[in-house]
Amino acid sequence: MERLRKAIMTEGKYLGRGILKVDSFINHQIDPALMVEIGQELARRFMPLKPTKVLTAEVSGIAPAIATAMVLGVPLIFARKTRPITMPAEVYHTQAPSHTKGSIVDLMVSPEVLGPDERVLIIDDFLARGLTLQALAELVRLSGSTLCGFGVIIEKSFEDGRSLLSGFGVPVESLAVITSLSDDGIECE
């Protein structure tokens, strides 16, 4: 996606420690037209797999996931990081390290919204080490659902998360791949 790559190159900022700031168009302020294009492209790539639900983690994954789910015509589920009083006591639960928060986060999904007859597509903003996506796949496994694939906006290929996800035997699709991230600049395919 050329528009996405251009936004990364012109508006993305390297903050050190492998962190790419894309707050001006994806993570804090969202470019709605770009997000619609992202959803259309991810949906196009995964439509043949016939997902029945899209799953992401709150918060940064919600925008691309809802755009994708809208095009696919399926519900979106986001794994919550804290359990609201409206969620049942028994939930599917796992944890994942957050690179940007510097801590472990809980991820929870209610069995009321995810059951064993679903075909689940996982969508997120970044693929770096792959640990959040792996945790989301664990929620799919706990629910008895079938995992269809992983779709991400930006992959940092030098962090090797794709290798971790390859063990799931499902497609992994990235719309932009960062091959180098340093004080000298950002290289993006």
Compute how many other C-beta atoms are within 10 angstroms of the C-beta atom of residue 145.
21
Q: pLDDT above 90 covers what percent of the chain? A: 87
What digits encode the pLDDT tens for the residues 60-108? 999 999 999 999 999 999 999 988 899 999 999 999 987 767 789 999 9
Q: What is residue 87's predicted lDDT score, i.e. its pLDDT? A: 92
Only one residue has tokens 């390297």, namely: 14
Say if residues 16 and 84 touch (Cβ distance below 8 Å): no
Say if residues 137 and 147 touch (Cβ distance below 8 Å): yes
- The residue ranges of every structural domain in the chain are 36-173
Q: Could you tell me the pTM of the whole model?
A: 0.96
36 has pLDDT over 90: yes
Q: Which CATH class is domain 36-173?
A: alpha beta
